[in-house]
Chains A and B, each alone.
Chain A
Amino acid sequence: MMRQPLARRAFLRGIGKGAGVAIALPLLEAMIPGSLIGSAEAAARAARVAPRNRLVLLYYPNGIHTPNWYPTIPGVATVAPTRNPGAPPNPSAPVIDAQPDAATTTTIAPYVNAEYPLSPALQPLARHRQDFLLLGGLNVPLAKLDQAGDHAKALSCYLTGVHIKKTATDDIQSGISMDQVIANAIGDQTRFPSLELGLDYGRMEGGCDPGYACIYSNNVSWKNETTPAIKEVNPRIVFDRLFGHARQSDHQGESRDMQETYNRSILDYTRDSLSRITKSLGVNDRLRVDEYLTAIRELERRLDAPPSDIELPPDVTRPTRVPDTFKEHFELMADLQILAIRQDVTRVSTFMLGVEQSRRTYNEIGIPEEHHGLTHHAGNEEKIAKVCKIDAYCAEQFAYFLDKMKVVKEGEQTLLDNSMVLLGNGNGDAARHDHYNCMTLLAGRGGGTLSPGRYIKYDNVVMSNLWLSLMDRMGVEVERHGDSTGRLPLLKV
């Protein structure tokens, strides 16, 4: 009983370090030496590997009012029963061990419906209904372990599929998130291995979720067990990072060439200093130094990449500030993100619409109360109505995102056809934090690997199975991710 989790952890570690990850790339592509990446030859080869697929993950904080998000269909449950079927009576019981090693836990065939009625919260997405899959019955069971801290767990267990360590202090322990597994595997094909964006950094003072360090409530993307991939919230900085080199005139300092020469030398120098330090450090203590080395490598690789053929559309301007309203901020970040994937600056990104326990107020739609406070509505009808309104507002922003994706043509198809855009959350129903039937909306055709336009209700499947299926579609085939038990069926018919 004690040995099993050890072996399992070791296996997960392996994945985190890249070992055991089978990357399904054409042989040719996989054999391109690192030094050639970015060369003209490599670019030419990359061009033959088509079509490229992209993955954008939008995280919506706090969770939804489930009955208003999923359609009401007789016989298809959307709200968790008082005790989840199959869930052990004790929430602290070993869910990890309880799950079989392979295959699927689904015992009841998924319910599939292409004619499902759009629930009220999804009305803003009516024009896109043929372009997304509404997925139900996906759970984040590891977020049910330990007591309290549901927001922290909802977020940090979400893409990692691991049992995060309950701690408010130094010994943070999460796991690598799915987007970073992809970035590690295929990130070297693009200027940025991955992008991490958000609309706020999270609470600056006080506690977050009881018993859990704020780092768990603020980050959806994790580079490894202890280090989140921090997000950028300032559109100007995102623009400069992504496209600064394409807009020389925006840069106020020395010439780009000179800056690059200097920065290369500085990074060289820094790496030398670091390697001297790592040599003198014990293996357990060099983590922070390794992070620096990894960051340098990523930056250098970007400098080595060809001065890409990015020509920004003429109407694109450099943002100058952080917009005041949620909607404006969202749209600006969405535009930048779409620009980044259409220009192939990156192929995987995460975008947090808010940190967990978000206390954002939505004054622009007449809601001066804090979002998180409202979600604990205790059955109060007025509060529920407001939560529903915020949920629908979120769907409206998502519709904007899809609109913009559809405008971009890629040959006969649109950018959305060659992408997978997910809107999700790990809490389940916002008032219950049951991590059951978690909001999951998967848009796009994934380069022909998804068949949207349907509602699929699975029977209590772990979320990580979806991640495994999405990773497959990004050309990153792994045996397992976190607590996955298999692949999610029926995404493509």
Chain B
Amino acid sequence: MIGKTPYLALAAGLLLGIVAGSRALVAEPQSPAPAGSSSAVTPGTLGAPAPPSRAGGRFANDAQPLFTKYCATCHNPADAPGDIVLEFKDEADAQSRTTMDPEFWERVTVELSSKQMPPARAERYPTDQERAVLLEWIEHNARTPTGQPDPGPFMVHRLNNREYANTIRDLLYLPADFDVASDFPADERGDGFDNNAATLTISPLLIEHYLAAAEKATVAALGLDPQKAPPAAVTTPGGSPTFNSRNRLNEPSARFREDFADRQGKIRLNVEVLAPRAFRRPVSKQEIDELMKFAALSFAHAGESFDQATGLVARAAIMSPEFLFRMERDPHPDGTGKVFEITEYQLASRLSYFLWSTMPDPALFAAAKNGTLRATLDTEIARMLQDPRAISLTKDFLGQWLEIRGLHETTNADPALLTAMQGETEHFFDYIVRNNRSIMDFLDADYTFVNERMAKLYGLTGITGNDYQKVQVDPSQRGGIFTQASVLTLTSKPLGTTRRTSPVVRGKWILENIFNQSIPPPPPNVPSLDIDPNKELKGTVRQIFEQHRADPTCAGCHARMDPYGFALENYDGYGAWRQQDNHIDVDASGEINGKTFKTPVEFRRILAERKDDFRRGFIKKMVSYALGRGIQRDDKPSLDAIEAAVKAEGDTILSVMVNVVKSYPFQHARGLKAAAPGSDETTAAMATYHPVFVPPPAPPAGAGTAGRGRGPGQNPLAGQGVVPVPPAGK
């Protein structure tokens, strides 16, 4: 870096201008911000007066000089390592850092409090007292958000591909292996998870996939095959059709089939069961009416087949935004965009998509209908975690949290071995979930799960077959998730036809995935460590990396990451135990936060002491996954509350789930701001449901409907030559 100091003032000015300018761009709402929206105005937002410091003027006198003295030499606008700039115009400027980076002060706090910053090569170090001054200012003036928990903005969640496939399967009673989304375009991910509302976009391509999938799924569900002779009803001499198929979508009307007087009335029975399940809430009579038009359409085009008609209605229902989107609307909207407690039905959906990645089951619907779900969350969650559908937590949460869903992208490894590795970690996680183990097992469990293939890799004997068995591990060799082969392989690199370890990748993986710390990217123009994958190494991997670390520009971050990786040098590129690397004895010693270790056992002991850090990181990941959005600064009070409760309840996985579900952002949503005047009627109509039918499926006595409709709406089939269906159940 050239001429840093002379440029500093100029650069700082420019950068601040840019930051402020671009923030204005981002924050500028397209219309007036919803009233009561705390996200619209944050301390230090452009134009808003900075709130007075709670510590009253201490910033300029105490904190700012310390930041300048100890931090800003490197963390200035020109260098900004890790995108952290700790040079401030004034207190408001400092507080506004979170506008661009919600976790800004969180990150600074972690570095400061763990004494990882300033780095070892720094010229000056703050005293403990000075550190405390900085941390106190952060805690009281920058880190603490509005102080009020906030559910975040109103969100529209499109079902992602796996949620879509699972929901279709459950809604239409299709076989477990029916994956209608297998060739959908891949979902994007946000914050590491593919259920992030912001990245679940819609495109014509996707709608085309949906249309085709809807046809495919309903055909499969109803056993329809249009290529064969039309399964249209056989007309008896009396003029009434008979039925020759049985399936669960037609069950509700089945018992009435002896009476053929009102064909559409019978289909209506099917639809009255299907629609609330598809929309995951009670539906209005009008909504049923609209769907019933598809029964008429089917009658007109495909003959008077009950199955065809039910199928077409189902097809329409699963194209509806009410099916494809999860969006929680305020049941009592006042147009202000206020925060409301979500309804029991909304809660049932949140819960089932969190724990199962699919629609609520009959028991959840029943609890929602009776209004007892919120009161029985503990038992419901415990029940749900025992259900086979909870496998989605393993496949989707674990798979993305630890990145092992991408294990098969690994090169230079036998795919069968990779599958076996993945199986170990999945069984391990599944065991923790189903047995309500402590989440601290991830740090130092003395057990794991192996099949024959994994046993061979780990040097265990007496285990045969593909099934996994729980085994005690040799504590001198293994313990905790980061000693599992899946993770160790994922974090190694190709070398010729085999794989070498990468202490840096391993260290980074542990810090990011286990302790939820972000590691800044390497500064630009620093060559990455040059290990030719086609050449033999000279010396151990550690020796080569130690040389790399000698470079002072790299030493700071690597001093933090690498010890975690060096500690794992006893595991080769596939996770097998080794005493030697390249014929030289492995050196797995190191120092983390001032604590030295020589063996994996000692290393594990140090990690196991960091329960608070792990708990915090794990909960953040879980909350982000549960809500389908990134963590925001106003989540801090909620996160703190969850953490405290989980700790008090012994860190069990159930306590994590229960407290996440009971947390403020999970239980609340933000209402909608009213649209332009003139739409009051529709707003009210949307908000008021007229339940006609509530799952679990149980045909009512008689086909009467209890709701009242809004009168005929726009006929979606107008111009199609279709006669609107007369109301059923006279």
Chain A residues at the B interface, C-beta cutoff of 8 Å: 1-2, 4-6, 9, 89-94, 146-149, 163, 165-166, 168-173, 196, 201-207, 210-211, 213-215, 218, 223, 226-234, 237, 241, 252-255, 258-259, 261-274, 276-285, 287-289, 291-292, 294-296, 298-299, 359, 361, 368-370, 373, 376, 378-380, 382-383, 432-433
A288-B201 in contact given A215-B190, A265-B316, A279-B683 (Cβ < 8 Å): yes
Interface range, B side:
35 or more
A4 / chain B contacts, CB cutoff of 8 Å: 21
Cβ–Cβ contact A280 & B686, under 8 A: yes
Across the interface, name the chain B residue whose C-beta is closest to A205.
B406
Which 6 A-B residue pairs are closest in the complex by CB-CB distance?
Answer: A205-B406, A169-B630, A282-B673, A201-B186, A210-B521, A378-B527
What does the 1/0 interface line of B654-694 toward A look like (CB < 8 Å)?
00000000000000000011110001001101110000000
What does the 1/0 interface line of B203-219 toward A look like (CB < 8 Å)?
11111110100111001
Complex: how many Å from CA A356 to CA B199?
Answer: 18
A289 / chain B contacts, CB cutoff of 8 Å: 156, 321, 325
Cβ–Cβ contact B312 & A232, under 8 A: no
B208 / chain A contacts, CB cutoff of 8 Å: 241, 299
Residue from A2, A9, A148, A205 whose CB has the most chain B CB atoms within 10 Å: A205
Chain B residues at the A interface, C-beta cutoff of 8 Å: 2-3, 7, 11, 14-15, 17-18, 20-22, 24-26, 28-31, 34, 46, 77-78, 80, 83, 102, 153-154, 156, 158, 183, 185-186, 188-192, 196-209, 211, 214-216, 219, 226-227, 290-291, 293-294, 297, 301-302, 312, 315-316, 319-322, 324-325, 327, 329, 333, 337, 399-400, 403-406, 409, 411, 494, 520-522, 524-525, 527-528, 530, 532-534, 629-631, 672-675, 679, 682-683, 685-687, 713-714, 716-717, 720, 722
Q: Nearest chain B CB to A149's CB is how many angstroms away?
A: 8
Partner of B17, one of A1, A223, A266: A1
A258 / chain B contacts, CB cutoff of 8 Å: 226, 301-302
Complex: how many Å from CA A168 to CA B207?
Answer: 26
Partner of A296, one of B205, B207, B405, B534: B207
Q: Nearest chain B CB to A49's CB is how many angstroms away?
A: 25
Complex: how many Å from CA A93 to CA B411?
Answer: 40
Across the interface, name the chain A residue whose C-beta is closest to B509.
A206
Across the interface, name the chain B residue whose C-beta is closest to A277.
B321
Across the interface, name the chain A residue whose C-beta is closest to B154.
A285
Cβ–Cβ contact A292 & B22, under 8 A: no
Across the interface, name the chain B residue whose C-beta is closest to A215.
B188
Complex: how many Å from CA A400 to CA B722?
Answer: 51
Cβ–Cβ contact A90 & B7, under 8 A: yes
Complex: how many Å from CA A231 to CA B118?
Answer: 45
A368-B629 in contact given A169-B190, A266-B319 (Cβ < 8 Å): no
Cβ–Cβ contact B528 & A378, under 8 A: yes
Across the interface, name the chain A residue whose C-beta is closest to B513.
A206
Complex: how many Å from CA A148 to CA B674?
Answer: 41
B532 / chain A contacts, CB cutoff of 8 Å: 380, 382-383
Cβ–Cβ contact A147 & B80, under 8 A: yes
Complex: how many Å from CA A362 to CA B113?
Answer: 47
Cβ–Cβ contact A93 & B22, under 8 A: no
Cβ–Cβ contact B675 & A279, under 8 A: yes
B201 / chain A contacts, CB cutoff of 8 Å: 226-228, 230, 288, 291
A170-B190 in contact given A94-B14, A94-B17 (Cβ < 8 Å): yes
Residue from B18, B209, B293, B714 whose CB has the most chain A CB atoms within 10 Å: B18
Cβ–Cβ contact A148 & B524, under 8 A: yes
Cβ–Cβ contact A92 & B80, under 8 A: yes
B183 / chain A contacts, CB cutoff of 8 Å: 234, 237
Cβ–Cβ contact B22 & A5, under 8 A: yes
Complex: how many Å from CA A382 to CA B46?
Answer: 52
Partner of B14, one of A6, A90, A264, A272: A90
Across the interface, name the chain B residue whose C-beta is closest to A238.
B205
B686 / chain A contacts, CB cutoff of 8 Å: 276-277, 279-280
Cβ–Cβ contact A361 & B411, under 8 A: yes
Q: Nearest chain B CB to A362's CB is how many angstroms away?
A: 12
Complex: how many Å from CA A319 to CA B87?
Answer: 59
Cβ–Cβ contact A171 & B207, under 8 A: no
Cβ–Cβ contact B24 & A2, under 8 A: yes
Given A6-B28, A149-B521, A279-B675, 6 new contacts (CB under 8 A): A94-B18, A261-B301, A262-B315, A269-B293, A292-B207, A299-B208
Cβ–Cβ contact B683 & A269, under 8 A: no
14 contacts between A and B (CB under 8 A): A6-B25, A93-B14, A148-B522, A196-B205, A204-B409, A215-B189, A262-B215, A270-B316, A271-B716, A276-B682, A283-B675, A288-B158, A294-B204, A376-B528
Cβ–Cβ contact A282 & B21, under 8 A: no
B293 / chain A contacts, CB cutoff of 8 Å: 265, 269
Partner of A279, one of B83, B185, B198, B682: B682
Cβ–Cβ contact B190 & A370, under 8 A: no
Cβ–Cβ contact B30 & A269, under 8 A: no
Partner of B198, one of A171, A204, A252: A171
Complex: how many Å from CA A378 to CA B683?
Answer: 61
Q: Nearest chain B CB to A331's CB is how many angstroms away?
A: 20
Complex: how many Å from CA A205 to CA B324?
Answer: 24
Complex: how many Å from CA A225 to CA B656?
Answer: 36
Across the interface, name the chain A residue whose C-beta is closest to B46.
A2
Cβ–Cβ contact A380 & B31, under 8 A: no
Cβ–Cβ contact B409 & A147, under 8 A: no
Complex: how many Å from CA A356 to CA B333?
Answer: 44
Q: Nearest chain B CB to A206's CB is how many angstroms away?
A: 4
B534 / chain A contacts, CB cutoff of 8 Å: 369, 382
Cβ–Cβ contact A269 & B202, under 8 A: no
Cβ–Cβ contact A274 & B321, under 8 A: yes
Complex: how many Å from CA A372 to CA B291?
Answer: 51
A227 / chain B contacts, CB cutoff of 8 Å: 201-203
A163 / chain B contacts, CB cutoff of 8 Å: 22
Cβ–Cβ contact B189 & A214, under 8 A: yes
Q: Nearest chain A CB to B232's CB is how many angstroms away?
A: 13
Across the interface, name the chain B residue whose C-beta is closest to A193.
B204
Complex: how many Å from CA A6 to CA B316?
Answer: 43
Cβ–Cβ contact B80 & A284, under 8 A: no
Cβ–Cβ contact B675 & A253, under 8 A: no
Cβ–Cβ contact B199 & A171, under 8 A: no
Q: Nearest chain B CB to A245's CB is how many angstroms away?
A: 12
Cβ–Cβ contact B406 & A204, under 8 A: yes
Complex: how many Å from CA A202 to CA B2?
Answer: 37
Q: Nearest chain A CB to B679's CB is how many angstroms away?
A: 4
Residue from B203, B316, B319 whose CB has the most chain A CB atoms within 10 Å: B203
A283-B30 in contact given A172-B199, A268-B716 (Cβ < 8 Å): yes
Residue from B77, B207, B320, B404 whose CB has the most chain A CB atoms within 10 Å: B207
